[in-house]
């Protein structure tokens, strides 16, 4: 055993102290066995490999570490929690084989391991800790692709076209993100929450979808045009909702229209001179000059502070805006790119330096880049011209390799 091997190299009191320190570091989510494995690895000691055996779900005994094949019947969204001031992640999934079913509880990074598996996928769960009607992930747990087994019971939840969801309480659907709004935070009885509203489209049409809490965070991984699969959705008052019992993932396979076909169906492709106020359209234009990169702030109290910290004590929401001159064969105009669209044009995922420095580094490299985007035209009373706001950047053809800043 690893413990006995370590005791040959260090006093028992030292080992006990190192185990306690590791458990404190992991805020109680690391048992003694896991801590000893980490310490042994640091000392170059590898555990002896045991014969790998698989059990049926009905054979699992509480208190043991076991491995088993199963089928994924349902998976909830990843939940965020705090313990001792530290953020953690957990999700519950229902899995089964021909002998029964149980709840698979995945902690930490394991909570995100089911992103690549759709409902009714076959799984191999290795080294999970068994409790009564549950199996929990631990430090050495692995979630892998399992072998297909026709004897395993499949979920009866059906995948339907988005526009056929009227009144349904549990269904799956595929679609492409057509548009999404900024996240909206709220507070109910002292409990904070978050939602994002999005337009999702498939071959049948488009629907309003509300992504709640952790699903709102998950949607941030997707950009407009991406294919998504909604699992465990429900319909209410003309909108589709994705709550804690549902999730949004990247589909393994789908028969959705290509991005270009989707855009062409919902938005006309126009020259800048053809754009009409308030009517969204697709514009392709060259950036002729990057004008400015600024951030402004707005607090939920209604004030617009100069920094993130509002005088009311709350942290204000930041809006990043990149202003540029653009032109196509018809005319030139100004265009504003906000938040994630600004970052896409800048070629960054997040800003690790102040915006003035970032803009000075990137400004010259933006010139002559061709940007295709969904535009919202608005007539400017100041310039007396139709100016554009980029709702969603679809593609960028860069002329240069821009310097990396993060």
For residue 112, which of 85, 78, 73, 162 has the smallest C-alpha distance? 78
Q: Point out the least confidently predicted range of 158-172, 208-222, 288-302.
A: 288-302
Res. 120 pLDDT band, cuts 50 70 90: very high
Q: Per-residue b/e over 346-378, b at no fewer than 16 CB within 10 Å?
A: bbbeebeeeeeebbeebbebbeebebbbbbbbe
Residue with the bigger pLDDT between 205 and 105: it is 105
Residue with the bigger pLDDT between 242 and 306: it is 242
Q: Are strands 205-212 and 239-242 parallel, antiparallel or unpaired?
A: parallel
pLDDT score at 9: 82
Give, rounded to a whole angstrom, the gap between the first and last alpha carbons of the chain: 44
Q: Compute and round to an integer the Cα radius of gyration of the chain.
A: 26
pLDDT score at 81: 87
Using a 10 angstrom Cβ sphere, with 0-12 exposed, 13-18 middle and 19 or more buried, the burial of residue 179 is: middle
pLDDT score at 50: 61
Using a 10 angstrom Cβ sphere, with 0-12 exposed, 13-18 middle and 19 or more buried, the burial of residue 275 is: buried
Please name the residue ranges forming H helices in 90-240: 214-219
For residue 222, which of 244, 203, 242, 193 has the smallest C-alpha distance? 242
Whether the pLDDT of residue 341 is over 80: the answer is: yes
Res. 48 pLDDT band, cuts 50 70 90: low
Q: What is the DSSP string of 12-42?
A: HHHHHHHHHHHHHHTTT-S-HHHHHHHHHHH
Whether the pLDDT of residue 406 is over 70: the answer is: no
pLDDT score at 308: 79
pLDDT score at 29: 67
Query: For residue range 247-306, what is the model confidence (pLDDT) as tens digits?
Result: 999 998 898 988 777 888 888 999 999 999 999 999 999 999 999 999 888 887 778 888
Which domains are seen in the chain, by residue range?
Answer: 2-42 (no CATH), 60-145 (2.40.50.140), 162-261 (2.40.50.140), 267-397 (2.40.50.140)
pTM, two decimal places: 0.71
Q: Are 246 and 233 in contact (CB under 8 A)?
A: yes
Res. 401 pLDDT band, cuts 50 70 90: low
Res. 42 pLDDT band, cuts 50 70 90: confident
Average pLDDT score over the chain? 90
Whether the pLDDT of residue 405 is over 60: the answer is: no
Whether the pLDDT of residue 32 is over 50: the answer is: yes
């Amino acid at each position: 055993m690893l413990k006995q091997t370590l005791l040959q190299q260090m006093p028992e009191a030292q080992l006990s102290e190192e185990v306690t320190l590791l458990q404190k570091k992991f805020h109680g989510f690391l048992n003694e066995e896991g801590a000893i494995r980490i310490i042994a690895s640091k000392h170059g000691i590898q555990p002896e490999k045991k014969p790998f055996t698989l059990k049926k779900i009905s054979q699992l005994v509480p208190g043991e570490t076991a491995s088993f094949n199963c089928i994924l019947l349902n998976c909830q969204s990843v939940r965020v929690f705090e313990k001792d001031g530290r953020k953690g992640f957990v999700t519950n999934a229902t899995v089964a084989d021909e002998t029964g079913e149980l709840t698979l509880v995945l902690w930490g990074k394991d909570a995100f391991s089911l992103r690549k598996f759709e409902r009714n996928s076959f799984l191999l769960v290795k080294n999970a800790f068994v409790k009564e009607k549950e199996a929990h992930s631990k430090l050495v747990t692995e979630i892998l692709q399992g072998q297909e087994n026709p004897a395993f019971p499949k979920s009866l939840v059906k995948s339907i076209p988005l526009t056929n969801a009227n009144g349904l309480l549990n269904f799956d659907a595929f679609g492409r993100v057509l548009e999404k709004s900024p996240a909206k935070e709220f507070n109910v009885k002292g409990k904070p929450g978050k939602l994002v509203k999005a337009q999702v489209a498939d071959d049948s049409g488009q629907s309003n979808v509300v992504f709640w809490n952790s699903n709102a965070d998950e949607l941030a991984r997707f950009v407009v045009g991406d294919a998504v699969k909604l699992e465990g959705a429900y319909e209410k008052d003309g909108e589709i909702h994705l709550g804690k019992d549902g999730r949004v993932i990247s589909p393994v396979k789908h028969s959705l229209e290509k991005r270009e076909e989707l855009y062409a169906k919902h938005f006309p492709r126009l020259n800048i001179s053809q754009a009409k106020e308030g009517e969204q359209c697709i514009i392709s234009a060259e950036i002729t000059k990057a004008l400015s990169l600024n951030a402004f702030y707005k607090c939920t109290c209604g004030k617009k502070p100069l920094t993130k910290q509002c005088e009311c004590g709350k942290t204000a929401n930041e809006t990043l805006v990149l202003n540029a001159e653009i032109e196509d064969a018809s005319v030139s105009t100004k265009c504003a790119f906000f938040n994630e669209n600004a970052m896409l044009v800048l070629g960054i995922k997040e800003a690790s330096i102040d915006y003035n420095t970032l803009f000075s580094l990137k400004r010259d490299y933006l010139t002559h880049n061709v940007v295709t985007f969904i535009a919202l035209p608005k007539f400017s009373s100041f310039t007396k011209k139709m100016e554009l706001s980029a709702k969603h950047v679809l593609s960028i053809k860069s002329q240069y390799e821009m310097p990396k800043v993060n």
